[in-house]
Structure formats: C-alpha cells, structure tokens
A and B are shown apart, each in its own frame.
Chain A
C-alpha cells in the first residue's frame, strides 16, 4: 500500500510565467494525489467498465471533433504583462455554420497581425477578429467558410450536473487530430457566475477548445479565468492543475448576436460600495453610492439595503456580486432596496467603467475625536476656500450637512465626499450657541499646503523622560520573518486619534538610523506614531505587504490610530513599496510620500471613501525624474492631489523648509 511520506508540493503550476520556479502551487498537486488515493482505496474499477468508459470518452470527443478547429497567429507581442505568450497554435469552436468561431482571448493577448484558422481537414482560412467578450475572455472570429461548418450540439445549463464526466477537446498538436483530456464537472456558476469548473487538464493546449459531455454535446468553451484578476492571461497559472474553466455554450449562443454585430462585451458595474469587507458574511448595505454612477442615477442612495437583485433575494454581498459580475455593461438589472423601512425598486443600467471620481474641497479641518459627539468642530479654515468665503471660522460646530446630521469629523467627511465639485451644499453649524446655516459651493481637491496649518504643540515633556525614546516597541507577527519598530510620540494621548507614518527603507537600508532618527524627531513634533517595518529579505517583495497590513493592525490594536492620516513614506525602492501598499491597503493607508522613485503602479481608483494624497520629492541627481514626473501626472489625471518638490542637488532628504511643509501636509490629510 502506498503511504504519503511527506507533504506534496505540486507539479508545474507556476510555469508559463517568466520566473521559472520549479515547483508550483499546492493546488497543482491534486492530480497525483487523486491518483494515489484511487489505488490506496483498493476500489479498483472493473475492467469492463473501464473499457466502456474509455470508448465513451473517445466517442464523445469524436462527435465534437469536427466543430473544434486549430488557430495559428502571426506576428504580435512577446509578453503580456509578465507572462511570456506562446505562439500557439490554439483551438476554437464553431458557433455558426457560416464561419463564426469562438475562442479564448488568451490566444490573442499578444495582438497578432494575422490569424489563420485551420479546419479539421487541414485547409487554412484567413480569419478576422469580429469581437471580444472581455468579461468572459472570449473572442469571435470569422472566416469565409468554404462550405457549411458543423455546429456542435449544445448541452444546456440546466442539464449540466456536477460530477458528470466531461472531455476537454483541443486541436493544437496536429491540425488534423484533436488532443483530449478527461475529467468531471467540478462546479457550476464559478467566477461569480461566469463559468463552470472542471478537473480535466486545461491549458494553452486546449484554451478556446470545447468541453464536451459523454454525448459529445458542447458544455462550454475552455478559457483561463481568475476570480481576482481580469487581464487576458489571468488564470493561466492554474493550467493543468485540476482547476479549469469553461464558459457555457448556452451563454455564448445567447450573446452571439451582440458579438456578431461587432460589440465588445465588458463586465458591468453599478457604482456602489457596501459596508464591511466580508462579502460572504456582511449584508449588502450601501456605504457609498457615488454621484454620477448608474446606481445613483437610478435613485439608489447611501444607507439603502439591497434585498432583491434581478429577481433573486440577496442576503450577503457575495450574492449581489454573483448577480452583477456575470452581467455586461449595458444590461439593465432590477434592484430592490429597503430604505427606512420602505421598499423601493430601481432599474439600473450597468456601465463598463465609472467616470473617475473627483473629490470636493470645502477648506476645513475638523477636530479629531474618538467616537461621535454633538458635531464636528472646525479647527482650521483654508484661505480663499469655499468655507472661508462662506464665513466659517474655527470653533464653529458643524451639525448637519445636506440635511443629514453629522456628529464627528468622519461623518462630515463622508457626507461632504458625495458632493461633486461645482455643486452647492447646505451646511448647518452652531456658533456661540446659535444654530446657523450657509451654502457652500464645492471646489476641486487642492494640493495647496497652507503655511499656517497649525502643528500640534510640542509636548511639555523633557526628551529624556520619554519611555519610547529609549527603546522602540518591536512588532513581530508569527508567520512572518519581518519585524517592525514602533515609536510612540511623547505627546501621545489615548483620547485622540493619531496619524501614523509608515517609514519604508530603501533596499537594504533598514540599518540607516540617521533617517529613522530624523523621522522620530519629525513624528515627535507632529505627534504622529512612527512605524518602521523591515523587508523579509534584502529586497522588498509583494509578500511584505501582508506583513505591513498586520503591523498596522497591531499598532491600531494598542494605540488610537487615525486611518485618515496614515501615510506610507518611502525612500527609493521603499517609495515604490509605499505606492503599492497604499493601493493594496486603502482602508489603512491614505497617503504616499517618497524620495527619488517612480510612483508608478497605483492601480486603484479614486474613490469617495478612500481619499489618497501624494507628496513626491526629487533630490540630488535622481536619474528617472522624467518618468517620475510622468507618473505623477497620471495620478493627477485621475484627480488625486499630488504635491511635487524638486530639491537642490546636495539635499538627500526633505530639507528644513520642505520638512516643515511635509509635516503640514501630514497633519492636513483629513481636510474636508
């Protein structure tokens, strides 16, 4: 009997990307383990059944084979993202007898100059790409068919049963022969309702080919898909792992008229954010419905609770996602919500992309408090701002914004974020015990850092008495090699939220105490917590972000942390990490500052609930200034506030003047 003697690491899950890690994901080990268990169980399949099943697999593949074609491409890119793209051939499935063929976008990710379809008889036909389905990653090709092409029989979705045998049929090794792999249907409605899942071996050898049932009817078209990523090559890392996907042919046929008309199908969005982050446990309560989004235009508002989407009752956010993510831009979805005990229904037309959000600016800072009070007390008014023009003053207590009661800075910020620049908002406040009301016209988000923003008063504590001055607190997390130092300012008070500076060292620069000391002094002055994490290895790696997240959470467990004023600040490579961290941890990090790096790769949108500010410094003879400037410009185009400063050649960090400005920037991150 076979024993498993050690933990299995998989087969070649990682292949196909340019890094050649030898043993890939654990998931890829499924096939060998499955096979071993089969033997270990002692339940050997009877010979006659084996033979009959084998005959059935072959017969099924043979029935579908005439409808599966081979596709060759000429010219095009080498790599898409980091994935080295193969040069084919690939497979396709005939979907109408006049020459329409559907395939996977994976085979066209490299934008070939020319496409040739090879029919099962070996004849070659130039093809043109008619349309793409970007949501399900399909392409529609058209050839001038020499004769009527054989359209395969469809297995309808209602007939597909999890556990049934299926055969994946591609045509890539020889144009006149199919290549086959046998498995079962593992699941239906996968990838938010877009595809079915199979354990047959799915790879570039059969992407675009057909998944067929035992009768030879086509269940679906094989595609690489990933639940988290949208690029043309996402999901390829799961090739041959026992996790493969197919878009049902029934669905393909349903959208075929749109594809034939040349329409590019894209995933649709409605533009709401729900409260909470656990999509499987949290109810679909609208935290933010952005003005100008389809949901907003249809009448959905903050605080609405989704109850029915497209005729299906929904209790959790995941159920809403499944209904929405399987639909396309342009589709109309009926959504029922409960608002204040009342049921309302709206028809929402999905769009492929929301217009970039533009944050309004009123020109206020408000008192930072723990929890809610009677209102938000204004602590500072920007010069020449809408707030100044309306006559607001420090000390005024804002109690209502647009007729919604506000009890804290956070509630005021949240309410204010919904007003588009140029729109007018009504603000009610209390001055000297008397309620008053003004109208403000929102301005565009600003990158001005006023020179008179009040810095916190340096605490009245002798430097030597600081407990934290002697020793930082060490933060370690069980499963990570990393560690972090946490410096707590002497003026720390538990009844006030504190901003956090997450200081990211350059490559191999953790030991540079000079920089850390400079930042300790700055954070001491501005009464900010200073968190200094260390990369797990010589260089920062994507896995370090997970540690960063835990380190920030640990800090927040023990200290009053103000997420609105948490900034990642990095030097050189550390700056790149800061940008990535801010994009990945938007609930925790709201600002990025850095010295001498190219701030590219902030792959997140400007969103009302996650304001993000940027402050870039270029000092000395930084060689990539032009690229850095271009990256900053890109962020500005997405309506993010970006401050950029060029320092003289001999400066290697924020100099005194810039340093004070930086502190003012840090304390005004929660501006309204």
Chain B
C-alpha cells in the first residue's frame, strides 16, 4: 500500500510544519462531519450497460429540497434519496434545468441539515477544497459520503473553446485537482475547509478532442437562482434554445474574397491560397501563404475551423482576422463586400 505510506508522509510533514497547532484543533473533523450530513445518496434508473443507477446530491433547505445533476438516473418515477443517517425517502422531481443540467428533488421531512445557497461563497484559484459525494456508490445506508481533497486548479468557462466540451452548460466552472470525474460523484458538493458550499460537482465530461476527463464543479452563484426559484415555485422552464445561436446570415469566405488552400486533411493549416480581385481580403492586402490564425480572437487550427468560426459572425458585422505572415502576426479588420458585388460574381 504505497498510497497509505504517502498519505501518512504528507500528514507527518504537516505535523512537523504545524508544530504546536496540531493538538489544539479538532474543528476540522466537526466541520467535515457537518458537511457530510448534508449529502444525499440518490438511486434511480440505470444499472446496465455501464450506466450506474446512482448519483449524489445535497440538501439546500431544512424542508427537504435536494440539488443534484439532471441525468438519466432521475428518469424514473422511483427515485430514492438516502440521507447521511441512513433514512430512506421517496424523492419527487420538483423541476430540472436542462441548460444548467441541474435538478431539484423534494423529500417530505423537516429540520434537515442543509447548505446555504446565499450569499454564495466563492473560491479563488489555489483554494483548498473538499469534494463530498457518493462516488462509485461506495457509501450505503448510514455510511457518510466519501471525501476527496484538492485545490481549485483553475476558473474558466467550458465554452472557452467551441466544441471542446460537449455540454449545454457554457458558464464558469471550477476546475479541480481532485478526481471527481467518476461515476456517482456528479451532484455532490464542493465545500471549502470551513464547510461552506462552493458549488456542485459536475457530470462526467471529457474533452472532445483529447478524450481527457475534466474534474469540475459549477459555482454556487450559477446554480443558486434556479434552485431557489424551483423551491419557491417561481421557476419557468428554460430551454437550450436560449443560448446564443448562430446568425441566420453568417459571413463566408466568399463574401470576404478569401480563398484558402484545398481542405484535404482533418487539420489542414489555414493557409491563404488566393484573394479575389477587388474583395475586402484583397483590399486588406491579405496575400497567398498568409495563415489565418485567429478569427475574432478565436484560434482557428484548420481551414475547417475558419469556416466554422465565420458562421458565428453576422455578415453585416466586421470581423477581426489575425494573420501569420512569415514570423509576423498582423491584425486586420474586414467587412463583407456589398451583397451583390459584380466583381466577385464575375470572377467566381
């Protein structure tokens, strides 16, 4: 058991560094135990083909409202919530928000230990955190939830790169260096060392291109309004359609008069092949062998990415292109030519 040894080493070191503090403080045990008491083990649909029939959740009101992730586990009439003390309840699905991928469950009980959603507590990068969940479904009955420790690795938005993470949620997240991306952990609580709720552990998510799993949590401030609205009965179901859509009339390479090299590879480097005489690209002095590196400050790693990125730009709007020419970066702002440019048409 190398693991045991290492962990002991870490704490032996802490003891040395900490010196006289060690004996004085047992608050941490109490804090953690209190936080565990608010975690709910949720059982529902699944249990076949590698889909686990369990996930985690946490209480956010004394009268039995539970926050968790929206998933197939809840896609059944029989959802069971098992509390920290082992009591088992039939849970009702109060409502779900597909955009945030969260769901609120309700059990009939009062005086329950719970996390406070407001005012939301925030953590900075480097903050030590604890992730409480029933990962791998290890805890059963009155067994407390499992605890992982780690730090906030980064704060970022999942949408920082298009198509990298396939999730409807595109808001800010805490990226963690604790391995929370495991079956059953989603819906668990991320807390600080004082036991305050920082966020909800996210669903299993992998990087669309590298296949790497991401450990993340959605901050309390992002989920609190919806959760509170559901609890108050004022929630109006939002749909994914509210997300920013592509314009109906997007910009195209043709409209800019830009011809890229033939797109023959999965990642053909976006080299310029030619510009059309009299076009905005020609007027901006874009030249053959220039490479289009960024479109509106978004990296374009291939010809395909340039085309895809232009789809997000309305053809009436200006577009900022960052061009690599030899070893020099050049920034240009282009605007599409009037719709029926005779020159462009004639040359096509």
Interface residues, chain A, with chain B CB atoms under 8 Å away:
2-6, 8, 11-12, 15-18, 20, 22-23, 28, 30-39, 41-51, 53-54, 57-58, 61, 72-78, 84-87, 89, 110, 113-114, 116, 124-126, 128, 144, 163, 165, 173-174, 177-182, 184, 186, 199-201, 203-205, 239-240
Pick the contact of A178 from B50, B125, B182, B327 — CB < 8 Å?
Answer: B125
Bound-complex Cα distance A35 to B180 (A): 12
- CB-defined A-B contacts under 8 Å, sample of 6: A30-B6, A75-B268, A110-B267, A165-B13, A173-B160, A199-B6
Bound-complex Cα distance A86 to B156 (A): 18
Instruction: Provide the residues of chain B in CB contact with A4, threshold 8 Å.
Output: 138
Question: Which one of B103-111, B207-215, B340-348 is at the interface?
Answer: B207-215
- For B25, the closest partner residue in chain A by CB is A46
Bound-complex Cα distance A254 to B233 (A): 66
Bound-complex Cα distance A51 to B136 (A): 30
Give the Cβ gap from B218 to chain A, nearest Cβ, in Å.
15
Contact with A along B272-283 (1 / 0, CB 8 A): 000000000000
Bound-complex Cα distance A536 to B146 (A): 37
Task: Other than A46-B22, A114-B293, give 4 A-B pairs with Cβ distance below 8 A.
Answer: A11-B182, A163-B9, A178-B154, A184-B9
Contact with A along B201-237 (1 / 0, CB 8 A): 0000011011111010000000000000000000000
Pick the contact of B179 from A11, A51, A85, A163 — CB < 8 Å?
Answer: A11
Interface centre among A37, A53, A74, A144 (most CB of B within 10 A): A74
Instruction: Provide the residues of chain A in CB contact with B24, threshold 8 Å.
Output: 46
Contact A2 B211 (CB under 8 A): no
Bound-complex Cα distance A20 to B324 (A): 37
Bound-complex Cα distance A199 to B5 (A): 13
Contact A77 B267 (CB under 8 A): yes
Interface centre among B27, B124, B154, B181 (most CB of A within 10 A): B154
Contact B125 A179 (CB under 8 A): yes
**Given A2-B139, A37-B3, A84-B211, A44 contacting B26 (CB threshold 8 A):** yes
Bound-complex Cα distance A128 to B324 (A): 13
Give the Cβ gap from B327 to chain A, nearest Cβ, in Å.
5
Give the Cβ gap from B79 to chain A, nearest Cβ, in Å.
23
Bound-complex Cα distance A84 to B207 (A): 11
Contact B18 A46 (CB under 8 A): yes
Instruction: Provide the residues of chain A in CB contact with B155, threshold 8 Å.
Output: 173, 177
Contact A11 B291 (CB under 8 A): no
Contact A205 B269 (CB under 8 A): no
Bound-complex Cα distance A116 to B297 (A): 13
Contact B128 A54 (CB under 8 A): yes
Q: 3 tightest CB-CB pairs across the interface, nearest first?
A: A86-B210, A75-B269, A113-B269
Bound-complex Cα distance A177 to B147 (A): 28
Bound-complex Cα distance A12 to B136 (A): 13
Interface residues, chain B, with chain A CB atoms under 8 Å away:
2-4, 6-11, 13-15, 17-18, 21-22, 24-29, 32, 50, 124-128, 135-136, 138-140, 143-144, 146-151, 153-156, 160, 175, 177-179, 181-183, 193, 206-207, 209-213, 215, 265-270, 291, 293-294, 299-302, 322, 324, 327-329
Instruction: Provide the residues of chain A in CB contact with B126, threshold 8 Å.
Output: 54, 57-58, 61, 180
Contact B136 A35 (CB under 8 A): no
Instruction: Provide the residues of chain A in CB contact with B149, threshold 8 Å.
Output: 35, 38
**Given A15-B206, A44-B32, A2 contacting B269 (CB threshold 8 A):** no
Contact A125 B213 (CB under 8 A): no
Contact B21 A126 (CB under 8 A): no
Give the Cβ gap from B150 to chain A, nearest Cβ, in Å.
8
Give the Cβ gap from B176 to chain A, nearest Cβ, in Å.
9
Bound-complex Cα distance A392 to B64 (A): 97
Instruction: Provide the residues of chain B in CB contact with A239, threshold 8 Å.
Output: 212
Bound-complex Cα distance A126 to B330 (A): 11
Give the Cβ gap from A215 to chain B, nearest Cβ, in Å.
14
Contact B322 A32 (CB under 8 A): no
Give the Cβ gap from A519 to chain B, nearest Cβ, in Å.
42
Instruction: Provide the residues of chain A in CB contact with B147, threshold 8 Å.
Output: 2, 35-36, 38-39
- For B52, the closest partner residue in chain A by CB is A22
Instruction: Provide the residues of chain A in CB contact with B213, threshold 8 Å.
Output: 11-12, 15, 240
Bound-complex Cα distance A110 to B22 (A): 50
Pick the contact of A32 from B151, B177, B179 — CB < 8 Å?
Answer: B179
**Given A33-B3, A44-B32, A174-B160, A182 contacting B151 (CB threshold 8 A):** yes
Instruction: Provide the residues of chain B in CB contact with A186, threshold 8 Å.
Output: 6
**Given A48-B21, A124-B329, A184-B10, A39 contacting B32 (CB threshold 8 A):** yes
Bound-complex Cα distance A78 to B267 (A): 7
Bound-complex Cα distance A3 to B293 (A): 53
Contact A2 B144 (CB under 8 A): yes
- For A78, the closest partner residue in chain B by CB is B266
**Given A49-B18, A86-B210, A32 contacting B182 (CB threshold 8 A):** yes
